Amino acid sequence: MQTIPLEFYLLLSAVLFVIGAIGVLTRRNAIVVFMSIELMLNSVNLTFVAFSAYMGDIAGQIFVFFIMAVAAGEATIGLAIVLALFRLKQSVYVDEANSLKL
């Protein structure tokens, strides 16, 4: 059963992770930063599923479900924080949320 080498999946997931990291570092809009974090979480999920399929171990796919649950929790809390920030500042730009800066 000849299939795609595992390295291809690892490389793809590394590319997606770096794209997500660049998004977190360069964007100002808090919602887009949040979506970039989702990109990074999903690239890790891809690694988990790839290793799970190539090693024949089910634990990788189980962990994907836990990561999805944590991402769902993060989505609700993060968007609630964005809403609260918008109410306070009338903007969702992360560089304007500097009230705690000295």
Partner 1 sequence: MSFLYFSFGVLAILAIASAIVTIASRNPVRSAFALIFHFFMLAGLYLTLNAQFVAVIQVLVYAGAIMVLVVFVIMLLNLSNEERLSERFDFRKTIAIFFGIAFAIEVVLAIFIPGTFKNNLHPDSVKIGTAQEIGKALYSNFLVPVEVVGILLLVAIIGAIVLAKRKLE
Does 97 participate in binding partner 1 (rule CB under 8 A)?
Answer: no
Does 44 participate in binding partner 1 (rule CB under 8 A)?
Answer: no
Which backbone phi and psi does 2 adopt, to 5 degrees?
Answer: -85, 125
Can you tell me the distance from the alpha carbon of 48 to that of 87, in angstroms, rounded to the nearest whole number?
A: 38
Does 37 participate in binding partner 1 (rule CB under 8 A)?
Answer: no
Does 16 participate in binding partner 1 (rule CB under 8 A)?
Answer: yes
Q: Which amino acid is present at 89?
A: K
Does 88 participate in binding partner 1 (rule CB under 8 A)?
Answer: no
Residue choice 37, 44, 70, 102 for contact with partner 1 (CB under 8 A): 70
Does 92 participate in binding partner 1 (rule CB under 8 A)?
Answer: yes
Question: Shortest distance, CB of residue 96 to partner 1, whole angstroms?
Answer: 10
Q: Which is nearer to partner 1, 96 or 102 (CB)?
A: 96
Q: Which is nearer to partner 1, 35 or 97 (CB)?
A: 35
Distances (CA, A) of 61 to 5, 23, 38, 52, 55: 19, 27, 18, 6, 12
Tokens of 9: 């999946």
Tokens of 101: 């800066």
